Each structure stands twice: as C-alpha cells, then as structure tokens.
C-alpha cells in the first residue's frame, strides 16, 4: 500500500480529524492514480475522501485494545531510524 498512510489507532493524544482526512486523501490518491483530479472528477474525488474519512472514524471508534497508547514522538523516531537504515544501504 502507500507508505504515506500511517497507523492511526491507539495513540496519545488521540488521532485528529486532520490526520484522518489526510489518510483518506492519500488512500483516494493511491486508488485513483491521481494526486490532483481533473475538474470533471473533482466532485467524485472529494466525495470519496469524505466517505473514506467517515469510515475511518467509525473504524477507529469501534476498535479496542488492552495495549497502552503509543507515543507519537517515539513512533516518529523509530520510523526515522528505520528510514536511515534502509537508505544507508543504497
């Protein structure tokens, strides 16, 4: 799938509406193959982003876990370390 779509569940502070919409936008861009839809497709593109964002909100609110919430900064640092290791080999 798309590397730009990040996990959104079980974070402290909780996932924001902006993060949910950004993930929905990335998903629709990936599926449609377009970062900017043509004017004729703009309405369909926006409807799809809205629907994916609603579905994501429902999913996140319905999930439960016994695991402690993840720390965003710690997860960001782990991702940077993985990227540095991956690109150091190149």
User: Could you tell me which of 13, 19, 4, 90 has the C-alpha nearest to residue 56?
Assistant: 19
pLDDT 10s per residue in the chain (90 long)?
456 678 899 998 899 999 999 999 999 999 999 989 999 999 999 999 999 999 999 999 999 999 999 998 898 899 899 989 889 875
- 1 part of a folded domain: no
20 near 57, Cβ under 8 Å? yes
Number of domains the chain is built from: 1
Range of the domain at 79: 11-88
Amino acid 2: pLDDT: 57
- 5 part of a folded domain: no
- 4 part of a folded domain: no
- 3 part of a folded domain: no
- 56 part of a folded domain: yes
- 16 part of a folded domain: yes
Amino acid 1: pLDDT: 47
């Amino acid at each position: 799938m798309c590397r730009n779509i990040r996990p959104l569940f079980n974070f402290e502070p909780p996932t924001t509406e902006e993060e949910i919409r950004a993930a929905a936008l990335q998903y629709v861009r990936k599926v449609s193959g377009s970062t900017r839809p043509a004017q004729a497709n703009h309405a369909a593109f926006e409807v799809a982003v809205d629907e994916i964002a609603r579905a994501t909100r429902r999913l996140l609110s319905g999930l439960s876990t016994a695991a402690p919430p993840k720390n965003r900064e710690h997860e960001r640092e782990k991702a940077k370390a993985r990227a540095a290791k991956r690109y150091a080999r190149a």
